Amino acid sequence: MTPEDKQLLEVHIKEIAKILYKNTPPEKIETFEGIETSVRDQVLEHISPKIAFFLSEKRLQQQRGKHGQ
């Protein structure tokens, strides 16, 4: 990963963290266990499916490009 991509990723991660924090009940972030559970649940529900969908779409595009040559 390039330094520029790392920096861009950092910016987006901070913005995602702000959104997740805003949408987390205060009682869920009173302990480290609560924070860990809340983050994991939100990542699994909201972030992982979007990343997986994006990556699978990119893979299909690459395969189509290879077959179209």
Alpha-carbon span 22 to 13, nearest angstrom: 14
* pLDDT in the model for residue 67: 67
Q: What's the chain's length in residues?
A: 69
Average pLDDT over residues 42-59: 88
This prediction has a pTM of 0.69
* CA dihedral for 34, 36, 56, 54, sign (positive or negative): positive
**Is the per-residue pLDDT at 45 higher than 80?**
yes
* pLDDT in the model for residue 68: 61
Q: Where are the domains of the chain?
A: 3-67
The two tokens of residue 41 are 């649940």
Alpha-carbon span 37 to 26, nearest angstrom: 13
